[in-house]
Structure 1
Amino acid sequence: MKFVKNFNNNAALVEDDQQTEWIVIGKGVGFGKHRGDEIDLAKIERRFKAADQEETVLNTATQLSPEIVEVVNRVEKLVKDQLSRSFTDYQYLSLADHIDFAIKRTRDGINLDSATVSWETNRLFPKEYAVAKEALMLINGMTGAGLDEGEAVMLTQHFVNLESNGTTIQDTMKISRLIKGIIDIVQYQYQIQLDPDSFNFTRFIGHLRAFMIRQLTNSKVNGQALDQSLMMVIQEKYPDAVACVDRIAVFLKNQMGWDLSPDERVFLILHVWRVTNYQEEQ
């Protein structure tokens, strides 16, 4: 790879043998280089194809400090090891930008109170939240920034978003808010507290997330529609779950303008029945 220009000592524009331009990041990767000089590949910690990135993304990539790059690389490895998930270039830069801003904000004495949201996040996404808390300890240990425990909530959203193809962090936060609203409806309707550690609760959350991602990305489920007679049997057999799903349908319509298809109603009725029937047997 040959040097084209410097953004700073730690970020440079380079060109490969096929004349494709890349933004490369690494400590001292562009220091003292002139156009046409060979780049030390060992110094490159992350690379992004310049033509594929938006201007705001490029700005983030070129302004990252070596400290942040090292921290994000460690967090990325942690997530891959613990959750078996990988970051796209955009997701990597989004996380880097968040961590960088969180550190700057904390050093300026500005902390966000996320105690209530923290409990909800832990309940909805326990695996991701556990890794987020570990990542927070790693960030504080490497930087001495003293980030508040509430930052684990935002890190959780980033980690959840790795499995949400075509959605943004804002979408993931919206999904979390909607799922909380639906959980509240179910618990109120049945006058119970759902067990967040149960298998049925995990399946229920997974179903809701998948449905919401399809709605946000305008995706459709392939396959034949359910038989109408089956729908009628299910609605007759589970009247309480039907009433609960009716409330959920109104909630989704009011909040997002979404309409439940007949098939989606049936699957949601079954999930509501499973998650509440298990609770009532305890």
Structure 2
Amino acid sequence: MEQTELSRLYVEYKSLLFSLAYKMTGSVADAEDVIQDVFIKLNGYEVKHKRNIKAFLCKMVTNQCLDLLKSSRNKRELYVGTWLPEPMVFIEKDPLQEMMVKSDVSYALLVLFEQLNPIERAIFILREVLEYDYETIAEIVQKKEVNCRKILSRLKKMLPELEKQMTIEQVKTDREQVITRFIRAIQQGNTLQLMEVLQGDVVYYADGGGKVTAAAKPIYGATRVNQLLIALATKFFINQEKYSIMQVEVNGSTGVVIRNEGKVITVISFEFERNKIKSIFCIINPDKLSFCHTLA
């Protein structure tokens, strides 16, 4: 393929392909590697006359992601503590980065993707997120159209939370206010105010990856989560000049970052139910926060 044609395809489709790869892998670094590998391979193909170059590129990216997920299965099984997807954080508004990422699914939905096998994940993303027709999906994942329909139907019955996360109405202003109260309670060590924003059955997940200290297993229940958060807040905010906490956009929704002397050390994302916090996803593995630093 000619370099000019390759460059044109890269500019035109990079944002779509990156969005697909990120949702498949849950990793910014892996998504970038997938895109790079696909365009290296594409350099050896003659695709000028392909009927649907967009579907062809999505097929290449999907296959690359499927191979990556299969090869990383053992790494996930040996991972220390809870594995959470890498967050996409915009500390400062960057239209170019936002266009590239297209964060059109919540962080909670990315977490749910971890319950799917690679093929299930691909079919769900291609159909429910990217809205491809079944004929195209069947071509991309190399399965019969009827099988793709059956797989998606089974997923919706088995994990109704997937569909709920896709259709849930985002009341962004209300949720920003909840997070503002959450931050204020953390900063002040206000146990009562913190309890007001937590669901009774709230779950706290932390991903330290064995690199930093984190809860090895999820913490369940408002009382236990409250106690943990207040204890962590006491640690973080004894020295107000050293640590800071602020609202940011995490995967298209309002989240929180904590910095130590300007460096992002924690990203917190939330799942809501009736404008209370149902799940807290705390990412503190430094390997998953490198992308945040480039936007700081």
TM-score (norm 1): 0.30
Bigger share in helix: 1
Bigger share in strand: 2
